[in-house]
A = this chain, B = another copy of it.
Amino acid sequence: MAKVAFVGLGNMGGPMAANLVKAGHDVAVFDLSPAAVEHAVEDGAHSASSAIEVVEGAEVLITMLPAGMHVKSVLVTGDALMDKVSKDCLLIDSSTIDSATAKEMGQEAADRGIRFIDAPVSGGVGGAVAGTLAFMVGGSDEAFTAAKPFLECMGKNIFHAGDSGAGQVAKACNNMLLSVLMAGTAEALNMGVNNGLDPKVLSEIMSKSSGNNWSLQVYNPVPGVMEGVPASNDYQGGFMVDLMCKDLGLAMENSQQTRSPIPMGSAARSLFNLHQSKGNGGLDFSSIYRLFNKKE
């Protein structure tokens, strides 16, 4: 069993750290919120008084932070944990951040002879608690292989997307595509409903035809079509519009840097932004269906 340092105990990081404890690892944690640390200690982790203390003796350091600037600060410019960890320590950043910062972190680590992977997750809070997250990993084969056993304590599907930054790129591409699928499915179902079709029947037909996609399979946006999804629970829970807007912002940045045309992602982003600006940021993103609905 390994000594694991975990920085960032939010809605995702908390249960991820807990799953590492369950798997038998010796987990030291740090977060700016004392309550979050306390909760992790109840789950069996050790608390550290600072980000610097938490990495003492660590064989693995996992960060789970809100944005690129936080990751950069913790690893390089602020706490500068890259200069505090031992050379053998494996760095895993599971934050969802811009790929440019992820590549920069990879380079900073390489400059110091340290292994680093970017490993953003998908699967939401539910997946974090259940230990069924998907990890999209960027980094060397060696670092990927070394990280895999740890990622498997927290997730189910572990993908090696490519070199440093590729994990963030893969996630940005996937979530951009997801926004397109969801908005496209919602407007198609709405047009069907406006024509008098039963959304269950139309969903069934399209899911067995060339319109088939993830949202029709497991995450139908029309209330009442599918059980156990946010749409059937007043769009509570799930993946918030605010988070989708954040991810689409990352995709926009990437498209700007790589001069990649993303007209469909841009159209979807506009719709989620419109929806968000009307006060729906806290609803599940499948609530985009409501944007298309006629006023009752």
Contact = CB atoms under 8 A, between A and B. Distances in A.
Contacts of A195: 99, 165-166, 169, 254, 258
Nearest to A103: B195
Contacts of A262: 187-188, 191, 270, 273
Contacts of A189: 173
A277 interface: yes
A202 interface: yes
B277 A170 contact: no
Nearest to A291: B274
A174 B159 contact: no
Of A170, A252, A261, which is in contact with the most chain B CB atoms at under 10 Å from its CB?
Answer: A261
Interface in A251-268: 251-256, 258-268
Nearest to A172: B191
Interface residues of A, number: 84
A106 B294 CA distance: 27
Given A192-B170, A211-B177, A197 B258 contact: no
Nearest to A192: B173
Given A196-B162, A255-B191, A277 B292 contact: yes
A175 B184 CA distance: 11
A205 B136 contact: yes
A249 B188 CA distance: 14
Contacts of A174: 188, 205-206, 209-211
14 contacts: A166-B195, A166-B197, A169-B191, A173-B211, A175-B210, A177-B184, A184-B184, A184-B268, A210-B219, A212-B217, A213-B213, A249-B256, A267-B267, A277-B294
